[in-house]
Structure 1
Amino acid sequence: MKYHILLILMIILPLQAFAQKDARAREVLDGMSAEYSKSAGTTIVFDGTLKGTIALKGDKFVLDCGGIKSWFDGETLWSYVEDNEEVNVSSPTAEEIQAINPYAMIGMYKNGFNYTYAGTKNINGMRCEEVILTPEKKQDIKKISIAVDSKKHPVYVRLENSQGDTQEFKVKEYKTQNLTDTFFRFNPKDYPNAEIIDLR
């Protein structure tokens, strides 16, 4: 599950996580990052290999995917498992957040990845620009393809791992909205039957 969520991360992020020498690719990534950063909140609906929604603001997020809903307020992570009505509460490390947090990549694209501009392609009737990212050092992710529309929003992400498996994500809806900080905290009143397990 963590691997799949890591893939989701790549979608949502303005992918500030990557760096290289291709000026046009850098321009596309910088534009996507700037568009994201100026928002007081972003909500994305996606499908493809996995389906779900994610709401984002700064380093905070709420991710609802695969029967698990997670809230992260910048310090505490609440993960609600629908099947057994259980909420795990933790204070995750940076590495743990990177495995589940769509924001973990922000601010890192100057280190760790190369990127190249792959030209334009038509996705759902929209002209998009595509950027290909590859890691500088061997890791589980082998290649990431990102298509960005004219509004500087990511609309399609394809990931390939070192075993040759691929995951595809299509952004169905991308909207900006004003999200309060309390939105990113679990409210036990909304889940009165949930068992809360504090792992801190």
Structure 2
Amino acid sequence: MRYTFAILFLLFIPFNSKGQADPEGLRILDKFSSTALSAPSVSIKFKLITDDAANSKKDTASGSLVMAKDQYRLELPGNIVWFNGSVSWNYLVNEKEVTITKPDRRDESFMSRPASVFTLYKKGYKIRLLDETATAWIVDLYPEDTGNELIRIRLTIGKTTYNLLNAEYKRKDGITISLKVTDYNLKTLPDGSYFTFNPKNYRDVEIIDMR
């Protein structure tokens, strides 16, 4: 479950006020966003690293995320989440339990509108192009809200195809969460069933319907 909490933290960041940006940093993020949103889907395989410096703890897990417009499938150790644009299924493998919910479509968070993850940078953050290498740009986002638990977000974006290489989230509590992308694919064409839980494939599980 700790991996689920970490990845959801990355995806449910609050963006709620107009931000400031240097022109080049904003241009890079705009291109990254438009490239992803114009693709039939975004498929990411990653390593999720949670580094708790205060308690000298470090966890690493592998996972995958496939998004197609407002549908997604997230796979983490011990957990699979499907969302078909209307209904969400959260499967806890060890507990053999599936919880069904129906997110509020008026909500602009990842849970109900996953494609919004590519445009949320436009609100609430100051954007700065930190560095440029031969193959990538490093862009920092600083929250304008001083009450935000984040210190900064650091994105590494590839120059050739504007693909995400790394995302690092540094928090005030001393925890740093890094998502290191091992594969970034914009050409996958999953059908609708890929984003829907099929009970025939998961026998002997308890289904909790909270719709």
TM-score above 0.5 = yes
The CA deviation at 1:182 is 2.5
- Asked if 1 retains the 8 angstrom alpha-carbon contact of 2:72 and 2:83, the reply is yes
Q: Does 1:165 align with 2:167?
A: no
Q: Residues 5-44 of structure 1: CA distance to partner in whole angstroms, max 9, x if unpaired?
A: 234438xxxx9x9842211111111111111112111211
Q: Partner letter of residue 157 of structure 1?
A: A
Q: Partner letter of residue 5 of structure 1?
A: I
Aligned pairs for 1:99-114 (under 5 A) are: 103-114=115-126
Deviates more, 1:158-167 or 1:78-87: 158-167
Specify the alignment match of 2:58 in structure 1: none
Specify the alignment match of 1:181 in structure 2: 192
Q: Does 1:73 align with 2:75?
A: no
- Asked if 2 retains the 8 angstrom alpha-carbon contact of 1:134 and 1:144, the reply is yes
- Asked if 2 retains the 8 angstrom alpha-carbon contact of 1:120 and 1:130, the reply is yes
Deviates more, 1:70-79 or 1:133-142: 133-142
In 2, distance between residues paired with 1:36 and 1:140? 27
CA gap of 1:181–1:99, structure 2 versus 1, over 3 A, is closer
Matched-pair identity in %: 25
Specify the alignment match of 1:136 in structure 2: 144
Aligned pairs for 1:1-200 (under 5 A) are: 1=2, 3-9=5-11, 19-49=19-49, 50-93=61-104, 97-98=109-110, 103-121=115-133, 127-137=135-145, 138-150=147-159, 151-176=161-186, 177-200=188-211
The CA deviation at 1:91 is 1.1
Aligned length: 191
Let me know the Cα RMSD of the aligned residues: 2.6
CA gap of 1:152–1:107, structure 2 versus 1, over 3 A, is same
CA gap of 1:75–1:63, structure 2 versus 1, over 3 A, is same
Structure 2's unaligned 5+ residue stretches are 50-60
Q: Equivalent residue of 1:105, what SS?
A: helix
Q: Residues 129-164 of structure 1: CA distance to partner in whole angstroms, max 9, x if unpaired?
A: 011001111212221000000210110111111212
CA gap of 1:152–1:19, structure 2 versus 1, over 3 A, is farther
CA gap of 1:87–1:101, structure 2 versus 1, over 3 A, is farther
Structure 1's unaligned 5+ residue stretches are none
Q: Equivalent residue of 1:4, what SS?
A: helix
- Relative to the length of structure 1, the TM-score reads 0.85
CA gap of 1:145–1:100, structure 2 versus 1, over 3 A, is farther
- Asked if 1 retains the 8 angstrom alpha-carbon contact of 2:47 and 2:182, the reply is yes
Runs ≥4 residues deviating over 6 A: none
